[in-house]
A and B are shown apart, each in its own frame.
Chain A
Amino acid sequence: MRAIFGDTLVSLGEENHTLMALTADVAKPTGVSKFAEAYPSRFFNVGISEQDMIGIAAGLALSGDIPVVAVFAPFLMRAWEQIRSTIARANLNVKMVGTHAGLSASDEGGSHQSLEDVCLMRVLPNMTVVVPGDRQEIAEATRAIVQMKGPAYMRLGRDESLKFLEGDCVFRLGKAATVADGHDITVFSNGAMTSEVLDAVKATKLSAKVVHVPTVKPLDEEAIVAAARETGLVVCVEEHSVIGGLGGAIAELLSSEYPVPITRVGVKDVFGESGPQRDLLRKHGLVAESIGDVMMNIVGRKAA
């Protein structure tokens, strides 16, 4: 996934000579090393200093360049106050990419697992927040955030070559996509979680509507309200804390626009820990089997 991001950045750098890339001593694991090789004069590795990196990105943006910063998601949050006070407040054209998000830095443990980033970025005025799901969508989302004007955060997770979105599911900023149709229940999800949700639907044979929501901000309010209205039952699934992420955003929206019961599936207000990634996801109920159980339970309750 990070390789796709790096490749896309290289082709964008070819088209746009004001595109700059920055990192804080994680060029290789984030994938920006490809950009560094292609355009060494437009790449800056500032060392292990995320706060300085964000300030430098602000200075580049104030000079008319388009800086893309790429670091591990939890350590980008170290510079959250700089992002708030300088980049978001002045609406600067800085693109921030947090890699190894969610539980994907599995063996490293809780220090390296980012379960709060969507919440922290979403709360900032002017900020666009995207959580793409598979290879193709990452390429499209990278292009979209570079081409839009203003600050944006893109969250990248598992380093697998996932490909589960249909070919005609094209990423459009601010748009949700219905990837499976049904009428008993609606599941909203993003990132690689949508893949688990699709597997869960297949296994349970429920008539479920699956809406992939790669843009958490601005939220596709119209599509989300319409989907909730159609089924009357909502589940949100994300590899993030159940507080303040996609589920939080949807709950905020639906509570005023179309109140329905909402079940939020995610990490339940605890920190991560070391372990094989699959085991971690299983522990937190973020695999198809557990998601399917949640769906069956809710639909069963409605029927009863």
Chain B
Amino acid sequence: MRALQEEMDQRYLVEIQMLKEKIKKIRKSVLEMTASTLPGIHVGASLSCIDIIATLYFMKMRHSPYRPDWSDRDRFILSKGHAAPALYAVLAEAGYFPKEEFGTLKSLNSRLQGHPDLRTPGVDAPSGSLGQGLSIGIGMALAARHRGSKNRIYVLVGDGECDEGQVWEALMTAAHLRLNNLVLIIDRNGWQLDDRTEEVKRKAPLKSKIESFGWQTYVVNGHDPEKILDALDLCELSDGPAAIIANTMKGKGVTFMEGTNKGHKMRFSNEEYLEALAELEEAS
């Protein structure tokens, strides 16, 4: 038994190491898109949620790029649709479409739209207008429950997005329906378009608000894949819907925008791209 446990621990460490390497490649893809996409992208909000989306796709979700329409697959809804480049980078890394398509992002006739769209292989739900993803997730969770499927539904919202009333309608509905196959993750990067989230409209105390709606709620470091994974595991034990508040940093990994709103929407100059890339390569 001990030998088996040790082997499993060893395997876990290897998998985490592999995940971290993939995340590095995914970050690089997003930096590339920030340099190559003429109108610019929402790079700050993309970099804050990469660790979350990658951990889901590579360590948690049952899905297959060879069968993107498999009905029993787990679903991921990027409700904060402006972070589409992060999702595209993960989907391409997972094999849903070739990375060469990154160069077409936001250009005419591209499968990679400015915000998530069903024309992109692997995208489970459209988004772009904030506040709607959790409701869509409830519909998917009800469909799964009704047909007896074991699949799980993951919804990622931004903290600024929580200004939308529909998010709170959905929080009530999911708790009422005791949807234990639904997980909400909040990318708590502390910024929205105009200013810091707490300046525009106070969200705090976010955890107790969500708990008071009847959700099992965890708070984690949203840049630590192991901690994210632990929380996702705990969510599976909940007898109702579960939420994870992932504390993150807008622009994570690029010092000149980290924790600021500089990268809300931007295109890298050549110098900025090289600087960001060098920093990524240096990081362990």
Residues of chain A whose beta carbon lies under 8 Å from any beta carbon of chain B: 20, 41-42, 44, 46-47, 49, 51-65, 67, 81-82, 85-86, 89-90
Contacts and interface: CB of A to CB of B under 8 A. Distances in A.
Contacts of A58: 125, 132, 135-136, 139
Give the size category of B's interface with A: 20 to 34
B135 A55 contact: yes
B18 interface: no
Nearest to A44: B142
Contact of B141 (A20, A54, A59, A89): A59
B2 interface: no
List 3 tightest A-B contacts by C-beta distance, closest first.
Answer: A59-B139, A55-B135, A63-B143
Contacts of B134: 55
A81 B117 CA distance: 16
A60 B166 contact: no
A75 to B, nearest CB: 13
Contacts of B138: 52, 55-56, 59
Contact of B129 (A52, A59, A63, A86): A86
A90 B144 CA distance: 20
Nearest to B71: A64
B166 A47 contact: no
Given A58-B136, A81-B129, A85-B126, A49 B144 contact: no
A59 B143 contact: yes
A60 B137 CA distance: 9
A64 B118 contact: no
Contact of B132 (A47, A67, A85): A85
A62 B142 contact: no
Contact of B139 (A42, A51, A60): A60
Contacts of A47: 169, 172-173, 176
Nearest to A60: B139
Contacts of B126: 85-86, 89-90
B146 A62 contact: no
A51 to B, nearest CB: 4
A176 to B, nearest CB: 33
Contacts of B166: 49, 51-52, 55, 82
A81 B132 CA distance: 10
Nearest to A24: B169
